[in-house]
Structure formats: C-alpha cells, structure tokens
C-alpha cells in the first residue's frame, strides 16, 4: 500500500505568495514613473486634455539647443536618413534614468552640437510608444519632450 503525504499547508502558502509577489513586482517594474530626481523636467503623469503646440513642449530646452533638436525630431518623424551610424540604435538605459522598459524599447538619436568635432553629448531617446526624452549632458539628466 502506497502512503500519500498530506500537502504541507505552509509550503502551499509560500508558493502562492511567491506567485502573487512576482506578478506584482513585474507590474511595478514596468509601470512606475522614475523618482523626480532621476528625470528632470518630467511633467506629471496623467492624460492631457489636448496636445500643446510643438514649440511649448520644448520650453524647458535652452533656446540655443532648439534648432538642432527640432531638426533631429523632424528626421525621426520621417524615418531618416540620419547623419550618424549610431542613430536609431537601441538605448539600453544602463544609467536607469528613464522608466524601466524591456530591452529594445528605447532608441537613441544624435542632436548635433555646433562646434563639436564628434557627436557631442546631446541626444534624443524615444520609446516604442512615442515617449520622447532629451539629454544635453550624455544621459546624466533627461527632459521629457513628447507631452
């Protein structure tokens, strides 16, 4: 005769709790906005009544950066051609300054810096869903510009 062991109630509870916490953790890690210190200039979350004019979304950007930024945004909107080989490549968010998303979600584009002998430090980073960020200091700080 084969004896069956009774299920351990505590083990079942631990497994159930682990499943619930894993689901909660996955939801939280994909959805939360970063801390205010991590992303400077981000507007508060929530639906907007209407999209602001294109120029107002760039208000936090220094005026001398805007012409090159607008040029890069126009190239992104029409799909290129881009002046730099790295434009359109995956931005990995290693610094963790943008909201955490799956690998490949973000793409980066160069914003030309007048007088720079290389790509310079200015970039646009755009997410698959259209969330668009600008950095003038090579990923140290970001300003959200799509809203």
Out of 70, 95, 108, 147, pick the active-site residue: 108
- Evaluate whether 72 touches 124 at the Cβ level (below 8 Å): yes
Which residues partner with 124 through β-bridges?
A: 109, 134
Query: Is position 138 annotated as part of the catalytic site?
Result: yes
Burial (CB < 10 A; 0-12, 13-18, 19+), residue 40, is: middle
**Per annotation, catalytic residue among 65, 85, 95, 138:** 138
| Residue whose token pair is 């007088």 | 115
Q: What is the pLDDT along the chain (147 residues), one digit of tens a residue?
A: 556 555 455 444 444 444 444 443 444 444 333 333 344 444 444 444 444 444 457 777 778 788 898 999 999 999 999 999 999 999 999 989 999 999 999 999 999 988 888 889 999 999 999 999 999 999 999 999 886
What is the reported pTM? 0.60
| Distance from C-alpha of 99 to C-alpha of 81, rounded to nearest angstrom | 28
Whole-number pLDDT of residue 112: 92
Domains of the chain: 63-144 (3.10.450.30)
- pLDDT at res. 24: 39
Task: State how far the Cα of 44 lies from the Cα of 19, in Å rounded to an integer.
Answer: 32
């Amino acid at each position: 005769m084969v004896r069956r062991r009774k299920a351990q109630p505590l083990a079942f509870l631990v497994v159930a709790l682990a499943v619930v916490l894993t689901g909660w953790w996955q939801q939280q890690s994909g959805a939360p906005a970063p801390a205010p210190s991590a992303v400077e200039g981000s507007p508060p979350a929530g639906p907007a009544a209407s999209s602001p004019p294109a120029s107002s979304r760039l208000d936090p950007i220094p005026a001398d950066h805007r012409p090159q930024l607008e040029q890069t945004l126009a190239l992104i909107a029409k799909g290129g051609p881009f002046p730099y080989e790295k434009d359109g490549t995956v931005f990995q968010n290693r610094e963790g300054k943008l909201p955490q998303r799956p690998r490949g979600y973000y793409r980066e584009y160069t914003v030309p810096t007048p007088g720079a002998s290389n790509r310079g430090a200015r970039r646009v980073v755009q997410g698959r869903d259209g969330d668009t960020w600008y950095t003038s200091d090579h990923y140290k700080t970001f300003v959200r510009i799509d809203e």
